[in-house]
Amino acid sequence: MKATVFASTLATSLAISTAALAADEAPGGDAGTLNKDKAGEAFKKRPYSPYADRSFPARPFFGDTHLHTGFSMDAGAFGCRLNPRDAYRFARGEQIIASSGQPAKLSRPLDFLVVADHSDNMGFFPDLFAGKPEVLSPPMGRKWYDMIQAGKGGEAALDIIGQFSQGTFPKELMYMPGTRAYRGAWQETVAAAEHYNDPGRFTAFIGYEWTSLDKGNNLHRNVVFRDNADKAMQVEPFTCYPPLGSTNPIELWKWMDAYEKKTGGSVLALAHNGNLSNGTMFPITEAFGKAIDREYVEARAKWERLYEATQMKGDGESHPFLSPNDEFADYELWDKGNLDGSEAKKKEMLEFEYTRSALKNGLKLEAKLGTNPYKFGLVGSSDAHTGIASFEEDNFFGKTTPQEPSAHRMTAAFMDNPKTGVKIMDWEVVSSGYAAVWAQENTRASIFDAMYRKETYATTGSRMTVRFFGGWDFEAADANSREPAVIGYSKGVPMGGDLYEAPAGKSPSFLVGAMKDPLSGNLDRIQVIKGWLDAKGDVQEKVYDVAWSGDRKPGADAKVPSVGSTVDVANATWSNTIGAPELITVWKDPEFDAKQRAFYYVRVIEIPTPRWTAYDAKRFGVKPLPGTRMTTTERAYTSPIWFNPAK
């Protein structure tokens, strides 16, 4: 509702200012000619409507694109009793009772949520009464109908059961042999999203997870619908078991294509947890026994608009083995094996699992095949199996129901495969993350469209605000302008965008700024990460510190020294006496070569704050196991801006 008002206010205010402009001009003389200087001046004046300077996205919307409820088989088996409705209610700020029986509430509502339950085992809607409209009229049916309407649904259901057991249920309603009659969880999932979608205030997306597991290697994708139930209900989620389903993503993309062709709707997919794919998430030579060809790279680029770069089962931005010069690469890693621990990790797998190396290899594939299959935007999300999208360190409800807050979750094992030696402890579960989306308004269409154009960033659970614009003309003074976003959009492209055709002698410049989450730690630094394809056809990367708090001086290696730490682990507290609440700068690539493909993305790092394990140790009085990480440095990763050299 609010969003519609916003749009119409904007339109009206533009109309008013144009009209006012003409009126102003009239007394001067010739009303027919508009003096250009005066017109310019009038337009520079702030219009009456405070919304009028916000045709661009003015604030990020935060959400989770990847939440499971009790409808997912494994979540249900773990004891999750919450359903999609509960999940949407919690995300929009209501207090609910978690499956473990304790009350849960967010520090502040989320703006959107995708309940992405597993696609398999979702069932079909029974078509029991096709061609038998007469079943609508039995008197007994009318009686039950009236009971339900009056709120006596429980009685009606019991009465129905009673009629059955006594064999007095009307004959014409009887079970038709051969019809497997059970209602689909998919229908209920869609209905829940429809019920809680509240345009302008809270967006409940329809979606599902395609849970492809190939030899224990995680190739999952989440599918998000731009559409409402009228379109989404025309299909069933794509599954993994033959003959209907497949574990090969090519088949998922075909399903997506068929959906769009059939309904005229729109869907996009996000892959996640490349870190548990044992080298198969971002292939560069072959997948499922078939060479990576034009068809593969084009379909992947078309359908997989975003990648989930961080979540509970490990952060996936970068790995120290791949980025030995990046001292921040070693963050909340899960790099011991694949999803079920059936195969241990080998170093050579890592290149095909992490965000940064995929972005780099994408440049290589683009040079070879004409399309970059790994030109994705970045988001964080959770993969929680609790129905509870809460990933702040001091309000963490765990990955599965047994990991909801209790005295044991500090010491239990999450996975233990003695055969391969892959063992992961519960304390290693990461309280991460959220998807931040720069959309104009909080609606399915607007947020989806922003995801589609990749104007997104990932956070590890903190709600910091990050702006990132690239262009050819940004100057240092732009960082001091009062409204950087206005300059950003007018002189450049936002995160997720492309730069083409470098003007002669110019290097790309970037306007980058970040504000802290009001409830979390100050900011340590902003970094720009550049990846490029060099003259020899090899991929390269470099991390630049571009803005930082205080008067720290970069060392001989150009790196800014550590910000330090104020964390008091025993009391699970910290103070914002170090770091900065906001950082903004203009950065120009000092080593630009207009002939080389490149990408740039931003990493924002917070000062150290207590990790969820510190809050647990304090609140439950539990002694952590040796080696348990007790502090964290929350971060954000933006979608890249790509530079495409002239052909």
Partner 1 sequence: MKKLIKEPLLHFLAIGALLFAVNAWRSSKRPAEVNGPRIEVTAATIGRLCAGYERQFGQGPDAAELRGLVTAHVREEVLCREALALGLDRDDSIVRRRLAQKMEFLTDDVTSAAPPEEAAVERYFAEHAAVYAKPGQVSFRHVYFSKEKRGAKAGTEAAECLAALARGASDEAMGDAFLYGFNFAEREKNDVTALFGQDFAKQLAVLPAGAWQGPVESSFGLHLVRVDARSEAAPAKLSEVRAAVERDLNDERRVTANREIYEKLRERYEVAVDEAALAKSAVSKTAQR
Among residue numbers 48 through 77, which ones bind partner 1 (CB under 8 A)? 49-51, 53-54, 58-59, 70-71, 73, 76-77
**Only segment of 312-320, 355-363, 530-538, 616-624 that touches partner 1 (CB under 8 A):** 616-624
Instruction: Quote the CA–CA distance of 200 and 489 in Å, as a whole number.
Output: 23
Tell me the two tokens of residue 248. 């090969």
Residue type, 71: F
Between β-strands 286-287 and 267-272, what pairing exists: parallel, antiparallel or unpaired? unpaired
List the structure tokens of 461.
């659970």
Phi first, then psi, for residue 55 (nearest 5°) are -75, -15
Spell out the residues 6+ positions from residue 338 whose beta carbon is closer than 8 angstroms to its own: 215, 216, 217, 218, 276, 277, 278, 345
DSSP string, 505-538: T---EEEEEEE--TTSPPEEEEEEEEEEE-TTS-
Q: Which stretch binds partner 1 (CB under 8 A): 218-226, 380-388, 576-584, 638-646?
A: 576-584
Applying CB under 8 A, among 218, 239, 381, 400 the residue interacting with partner 1 is 239
Q: Does 180 bind partner 1 (CB under 8 A)?
A: yes
Instruction: Considering the complex, state which of residue 60 and residue 337 has its C-beta at the smaller distance from partner 1.
Output: 60
Are the beta carbons of 235 and 262 closer than 8 angstroms?
Answer: yes
> Quick check: 261 binds partner 1 (CB under 8 A)?
yes
Our finding on whether 143 is near partner 1 (CB under 8 A) is: no
- Tell me how far, at minimum, the Cβ of 87 lies from partner 1, in Å: 13
Among 176, 367, 476, 625, binds partner 1 (CB under 8 A): 176
Residue 108, interface with partner 1 (CB under 8 A)?
Answer: yes
Torsion (CA) 528, 533, 535, 540 in degrees, nearest 10: 60
Residue closer to partner 1 (CB basis): 224 or 479: 479
Q: By CB under 8 A, tell whether 195 contacts partner 1.
A: yes
Choosing from 148, 292, 412, 415, the residue that interacts with partner 1 (CB under 8 A) is 148
**199 counts as binding partner 1 under rule CB under 8 A:** no
Query: Is the backbone of residue 144 left (phi > 0), alpha (psi -120 to 50) or beta?
Result: alpha
Rounded to the nearest whole angstrom, what is the least distance from the CB of residue 595 to partner 1 in the complex?
34
Phi, psi of 606 (to 5 degrees): -85, 165
Residue 145 lies near partner 1 (rule: CB under 8 A): yes
Distance CA 69, CA 85 (A): 9
Stretch that binds partner 1, among 35-43, 277-285, 588-596, 617-625 (CB under 8 A): 617-625
Q: Which of residues 620-639 bind partner 1 (CB under 8 A)?
A: 620-622
Cβ–Cβ < 8 Å for 186, 237: yes
Residue 121 as a binder of partner 1 (CB under 8 A): the answer is yes
State which of positions 13-52 bind partner 1 (CB under 8 A).
46, 49-51
CB of 513 to partner 1, least distance (A): 6
Cα distance between residue 34 and residue 29, in whole Å: 10
By the rule CB under 8 A, 476 interacts with partner 1: no
Q: How far apart are CA 86 and CA 180, in angstroms?
A: 28
Q: Which of 118, 453, 467, 525 binds partner 1 (CB under 8 A)?
A: 467
Per-residue contact flags (x/-) with partner 1 for residues 546 to 565, judged by CB under 8 A: ---x----------------
244 binds partner 1 (CB under 8 A): yes
